[in-house]
Amino acid sequence: MAFELPPLPYPPNALAARGMCQQTLELHHGKHHQAYVTALNGFVEKNEALQNKSLDEIVTLSRGKPDMAPVFNNAGQHWNHILFWQNLSPSGGAIPGSLEGKIVEDFGSVDAFKDAFKTAATTQFGSGWAWLVLGSDGKLKVTKTPNGSNPLAEDAGRPLLGLDVWEHSYYLDFQNRRPDYVTNFLDKLANYEFADAQLKAA
Ligand code: MN3
């Protein structure tokens, strides 16, 4: 079974009023994410060791292996983007009470969480991702990963929310202003309902 590009969970113009235009979403989903899926399928076709494996299995079996870096990069990016589309919402930005309580418990305040997330997202040099994860100790944490890596590959906990900070995710809307893109995500786009559901399922 070949891997497939999942459909966006909202129309491509659904986030335009909240700082992510239709062209960004169409290029990011239809071109960038599709390219990772196509490349991954190409590797699977040529390598028997990757066949009949789940995406999670391919990410973990290829991590840390220089000769498998292209497989890891594309599998990781497919994994990351599947999550990312669900981390955006046309009604984003509102934090459900149960998640807010946990954020206050572990970060001190919502503002402290947002500051930590902004720091992670803006100090990830070059391409990568910022994450809100539930650590194995049961505490929420903010982390960042380079390029196509992710919390699964780094055993960094269960991701509740991930933000793509590759330039392709924000350049049309914010040009070089990554900090504005991150703030806009946290205040207007982040699907905290999804994060809350992930937390409850953990
Ligand atoms: Mn991307």
pLDDT for the residue 193: 98
Contact (Cβ atoms closer than 8 angstroms) between residue 119 and residue 152: no
Smallest CA-to-CA distance from 120 within 91, 161, 92 is with: 161
Distance of CA 153 from the midpoint of ligand 1 (Å): 17
In which residue ranges of the chain is pLDDT below 70? none
Greatest Cα pair distance in the chain: 50
Enumerate the CATH 1.10.287.990 domain ranges in the chain, comma separated: 21-86
- List where CATH 3.55.40.20 sits in the chain: 97-201
* 108 Cα: distance to centroid of ligand 1 (angstroms): 31
| Spacing of C-alpha 9 from chain mean position | 15
Cβ atoms 164, 36 nearer than 8 A: no
Residue 1 is predicted with a pLDDT of 72
- From residue 167, how far is each of 37, 90, 124, 133, 170 by CA, in Å? 19, 21, 12, 23, 6
Q: What SS3 class is residue 87?
A: coil
Output Rg (C-alpha) for the chain, integer angstroms.
17
Q: Does domain 97-201 have CATH number 3.30.200.20?
A: no
CATH of 21-86, one of 3.40.50.300, 1.10.287.990, 1.10.1530.10, 1.10.150.120: 1.10.287.990
Question: For residue 28, how far is its CA from the centre of ligand 1 (angstroms)?
Answer: 6
Q: Are 134 and 161 in contact (CB under 8 A)?
A: no
Question: Distance from the CA of 178 to the center of ligand 1, in angstroms?
Answer: 14
Distance 183 CA to ligand 1 centre (A): 18
Write out pLDDT tens, residues 87-110.
999 999 999 999 999 999 999 999
